[in-house]
Structure formats: structure tokens, C-alpha cells
Amino acid sequence: QVQLVESGGGLVQPGGSLRLSCAASGITFSIYDMVWYRQAPGKQRELVAAITSGFRLNYDSSVKGRFTISRDNAKNTVYLQMNSLKPDDTAVYYCNGNLGGLEYWGQGTQVTVSS
């Protein structure tokens, strides 16, 4: 049974910070590429940040310099540190793990940035 379990979402003021976590089980975590996506109301799902099994990084231009993706293979967990949050960051954030033809998704966690 494969599970990606997310935590850390919530309500935060503009300029604030949140740290999202995604704990994986049922997969050989260290060989999977891990990705954070988000989807805002009325918008398509978009890639936010990715970290490959080889620790290569990719960020959407809108979050570069503000967000940091990392992984701890010993804990089977991928993180998304979000700083200097803006209202446009409000979305449901999803954790994704993929390896070739295999792909798994977390349940999503709500992030709301508002005064």
C-alpha cells in the first residue's frame, strides 16, 4: 500500500512562512523523483518545485528565491519551505512521487495567505 501523507498547511499572513511535509510509505523513496504541485481555484495544476532522486532541483519562476524543496531519504520525507508568502500562493498543494511509469499523489493540503 502506497501512501503520501502531507502536513503543514494552514492560514498565514502575507510575508509569513510555512513548512510543508510529505511522508511516503510503500515505495523505495530514495529512487523516486519528488515534486510539489499546487492548484488554485479556477486554475490548472502547476509544478511548484521538484527534487530528483539525484538531488537536482527545479522551481517555478514565481517561487524562486522564496521556496526551498528538500528531501530526507532516511525519513522518507520531502519538504517545501515557503517564505515571504503572497496571496497568489494560496492553493491546494499536492505531493507527487514518480519513477518511470509509476506515479503517486498525496491528498493535498490547503495553504491560504491572507490578512
Collect contacts of 23-26 with beta carbons under 8 A, ≥24 apart. Answer: 23/75, 23/76, 23/77, 24/76, 24/77, 24/78, 24/97, 24/104, 25/1, 25/76, 26/1, 26/2
What pLDDT is recorded for position 14?
98
pLDDT, averaged across the chain:
97
pLDDT in tens, 13-59: 999 999 999 999 999 999 999 999 999 999 999 999 999 999 999 99
Residue 101: what pLDDT? 87
Q: How much is the average pLDDT of 81-90?
A: 98
pLDDT for 36 equals 98
3, three cell numbers: 501512501
